[in-house]
Amino acid sequence: MSQAFDAVDVIRTKRDRGRLSPEQIDWVIDAYTQGEVAEEQMSALAMAILLNGMDREEISRWTAAMIASGERLDFSSLGRPTADKHSTGGVGDKITLPLAPLVAACGVAVPQLSGRGLGHTGGTLDKLEAIPGWQAALSTEAMLAQLRDVGAVICAAGSGLAPADKKLYALRDVTGTVEAIPLIASSIMSKKVAEGTGALVLDVKVGSGAFMKSLDQARELARTMVDLGTDAGVTTVALLTDMSTPLGLTAGNALEVRESVEVLDGGGPADVVDLTIALAREMVAAAGVSDVDPADALRDGRAMDVWRRMIAAQGGDPSAALPVAREQQVIEADADGVLTRLDALAVGVAAWRLGAGRARKEDTVQAGAGVELHAKPGDRVKRGQPLLTLHTDTPERFARAQETLAGAWEVGTDAPERKGIVLEEVR
């Protein structure tokens, strides 16, 4: 390609708090994807964006350029509306598993392209791979066929979607620029828009176990992503949801699948059920379907029927026994009273140390590893009763997991104020 711009000039523009022109943005993303802008130059630009920000037009153009670096999927042939959900990640966040079949049971097709986990937040694909036989990789043709037949698919994103993002994401990870909100928002939204969904609901987590620790940060990210979706012609809504304590009663892979199946079977923890229904209602409404309540489809078993067909369509056995870790260790409450705090981040890191997550992309995960909760904040506990059960195949991991959990909970006399799982909406 012709050398339309100079990378150093683009870096200087943002370093000096200037606006990048649409042409500069298109050029730098394309040239970086083609290997003509060096890694150290894109590192400098990413740091300048972290420090000096971008306005709405810049972020929108940046996202469009990332989308243009690869292919776009098209679901217009399905004959039914499509909706997708993206979560910014949290501890025990298994919501995609019951949510996709639930929304499909309401007549909206769900093309859910998901990833594997890195760090303390487990990936949806890691969880589903705990099911014997289940396969994450599907061709675009197989994905479309499953959407027509079943209505829902959860699978790995192909390498053709927003390749610029894949390259930039890896660079941000090693250059201290992961936290740049324009880059987080454009990373998420470039993939979701390229995926071709008609409507998108964002679950932006807030709290110790989330990437965004404060409401202000989460609000800014949510607003940026909703604007990006709107600018790209995708109906987009964001819910800010609580991640100060783990979601549900499990953090792990097979443990979370088991809990998801309980939800689809009409049971499960109240917070998981509430968030699943809240997100399903938003997805169904955003897709333009108004005559169905997802709570009914959860109650009458239609969502469970779709789950079984969805798992079987990808080679999984929905009735097979899930893996169980070889070793368990119980942590007991150290006082009588009310559990006033249980820190999500500590539980997530403990699950990771037990083998449920990975530190590097190449690492394997243990299907049965993780943490099981026997009480949540607000519950009464007695000294000596089980508070947490740690699960792993490798018992030498218990010590480090216990270190992580030291000081992660408190037992007091007054119950904490109960708040709903959904904190705010951004439209």
Catalytic sites, residue numbers: 86, 165, 172, 187, 191
Tell me whether residue 306 is exposed, middle or buried, using C-beta atoms within 10 angstroms of its C-beta: 0 to 12, 13 to 18, 19 or more: buried
Contact 128, 154 (CB under 8 A): yes
Tokens in use for 126? Answer: 């890691």
- What's the token pair of residue 367? 């299907």
In Å, what is the CA distance from 45 to each residue of 80, 176, 422? 42, 12, 35
DSSP class of residue 212 equals B
* Segments in 137-203 forming alpha helices (H): 140-149, 163-173, 181-194
CA atoms within 13 A on the CB side of 235: 13
Tokens 């965004």, located at residue: 212
Long-range Cβ pairs for the range 291-297 (8 Å, 24+) = 292/106, 292/107, 294/102, 294/103, 294/105, 294/106, 297/102, 297/105, 297/106
Do 197 and 288 touch, CB atoms closer than 8 A?
A: no
**Pair 78, 201: CB distance under 8 Å:** no
Q: Residue 401 is encoded by which pair of tokens?
A: 């997991």
Give whole-number Cα distances, 96 to 2, 48, 273, in Å. Answer: 44, 35, 12
Q: Report residue 63 as tokens.
A: 């996202």
